[in-house]
Amino acid sequence: MAKFIWLGSRKRSGKPVLVPGESTSLHRAFLISLWLKGLGGLTELLGALALLLIPVNVFKDLGQSLSSMFLNANPENAFGLAILKYTQSLDGHSTLLGAIYLVTHGAVKVVLVYALFRNRMWAYPMMLAALVIFVILQTVDLFNEFTWGVFALTIFDIFMIWITNREWQLHKKRNEHAAAH
């Protein structure tokens, strides 16, 4: 049975075995980032389920109520106008496409995060590939329509690429160190 990765390989004393270049604080940052990615993936899966199970008119009604709340206070409110724009354009086809996107995006995240927590070496390059694809798609989105949320997510994914690659290299060193001892 594979062990979950927490703080790298451990000696019998229970203290972590650190390889050159390893930092427990960066490793913790990696684990926290993985948890955030996994929770994001679960949220996407739940969102897809909602899109598939809740009728479109419910989303339209909710959007109308939310947008009117913002627009009554300020008719120029960007958030209220965005909610109104997106919910008015909803139809069965767009919600199905949204659900398909959320299922694939969420499932990829959840499976890869789980595999990384299970210490599966194959998951590191797969996570890097998925993150690079996410960053490319998000960058295209940013050029089409800039939003701070997508910008922040792109920065986080770039950080995830760096820290995942770092952890992958350290994981290889840990395995070499364990095999040598």
- What integer is the mean pLDDT of 51-64? 89
Structure tokens at 171: 């994981």
Instruction: Indicate the pLDDT class of residue 1, thresholds 50, 70 and 90.
Output: very low
CB atoms within 10 A of CB 88: 12
Q: What's the pTM value of the predicted model, to 2 decimals?
A: 0.77
Q: Does the pLDDT at position 16 exceed 80?
A: no
Kindly list the domain boundaries of the chain, sorted by start residue.
24-176
Distance in angstroms (rounded) separating the CA atoms of residues 127 and 139: 18
Burial class of residue 44 in the structure, from the number of CB atoms within 10 Å of its CB (0-12 exposed, 13-18 middle, 19+ buried): buried
pLDDT digits (tens, 9 = 90+) for 103-140: 999 999 999 999 999 989 999 999 999 999 999 999 99
Tell me the three state secondary structure of residue 120: coil
